[in-house]
Amino acid sequence: MKRIFAGLVVMSLLAGCASGGKHAPVVEHGTVTKAAKAPARSTDKDWRPRVHVVQKGDTLYAIAFNYGLDPRELAEQNAIQDPNLIQVGQQINLFSGTASPRAAVESRPIPVPSAVKDQPKVVKYPYNATAVAKAEAVQNPPESTPVVARVETKPVAESRVAAKPEAQPVADDGADDALEWSMPTQGKVIGNFSEADNRKGVDIAGKLGQPIFASAPGKVVYSGSGLRGYGKLLIIKHNKTFISAYAHNDQLLVKEGENITRGQKIAEMGNSDSDGGQIKLHFEVRRFGKPVDPANYLSLGKP
């Protein structure tokens, strides 16, 4: 009986080993916390060209917004006194160090004189005293004899304006991961980002006068209502890569050029004329001026 019992035990163990090698799950009792979603870092390179050619309907503020730039800096580096006075076809240098459009006009070759004297002269004579005297006379003409100079011209390299400005990316400062983002306000998300449907940000519903907070630290580069479809708008530039936009406000509480901190109250929620007066915040995050999904940086619910 002992032998039979031992055999049964061995067979049972062998059957357990051949059952796929799976271990029983270990279950810990207690509260389960879900790990927070890490902000996604885009690998897209800077797509912006060096020069923007003004199109019909463009404004300097819209150009700056679409490229993620500071409108004041853009006006200054292009010597634009009045941001409202730009013309169709005008070339706007997007970055400092770009050659001025006026200086880039095609230039003609400029002759640069370089005097080449025809001295010394070489003349063959039979060798004798008379020939030596003649040779010396040729090499050393009297002071009254004019020296004839031959002028050669060397064309200066031409500079031409390219027919289409080439995209030369500006180096990313690598500050994506350094930014800490927070929710700009509280409320239900009633509209998500959608590139396919041209929805450039998210809409968060709330109450009239509800506080709006800066989602990340930076500098206010726009405060006003000059961009169509955004109502009273604030734009904050965070670094060389990111800007954020806060639209449809009732009150704007910060001014252009002002440095702000993350979580600072910057506005009060208002309504949107385009959506039947609905009270909400339209919030955008833009990387190199291109809209990206704010959900990559914030914990947003679904509408």
pLDDT of residue 273: 73
Residues 184 and 234 in one domain: yes
Residues 101 and 206 in one domain: no
pLDDT of residue 21: 42
Residues 88 and 130 in one domain: no
Nearest alpha carbon to residue 252 among 238, 237, 268, 264: 268
- Domain assignment of residue 276, given as a range: 177-303
- pTM of this structure: 0.61
Residues 249 and 287 in one domain: yes
Residues 77 and 111 in one domain: no
Residues 57 and 89 in one domain: yes
Query: Is 35 domain-assigned?
Result: no
Query: Is 33 domain-assigned?
Result: no
User: How would you classify the pairing of strands 202-205 and 189-191?
Assistant: antiparallel
Over residues 166-175, the mean pLDDT reads 43
pLDDT at 94 over 70: yes
Please tell me the chain's helix, strand, coil percentages from 3-state DSSP, rounded to the nearest 5: 15, 25, 60
What is the pLDDT confidence band of residue 127, given thresholds at 50, 70 and 90? low
Q: What total of structural domains would you count in the chain?
A: 3
What is the pLDDT confidence band of residue 46, given thresholds at 50, 70 and 90? confident
Nearest alpha carbon to residue 271 among 230, 300, 228, 215: 230
Task: Answer for the pair 291, 200: CB distance below 8 angstroms, yes or no.
Answer: yes
Choose the most confident range, by mean pLDDT, from 37-51, 72-86, 122-136, 217-231.
217-231
Both structure tokens of 107: 């230039």
- Give the CATH number of the domain where residue 241 resides: 2.70.70.10
**One-letter amino acid for residue 173 of the chain:** D
- Give the CATH number of the domain where residue 69 resides: 3.10.350.10
Residues 58 and 163 in one domain: yes
Residues 225 and 270 in one domain: yes
Residues 301 and 188 in one domain: yes
Query: Is 8 domain-assigned?
Result: no
Query: Is 5 domain-assigned?
Result: no
pLDDT at 117 over 60: no
- Of 47-51, 74-78, 112-116, 224-228, give the lowest mean pLDDT range: 112-116
Residues 203 and 111 in one domain: no
pLDDT of residue 142: 57
Residues 131 and 54 in one domain: no
Between residues 169 and 246, the one the model is more confident about: 246
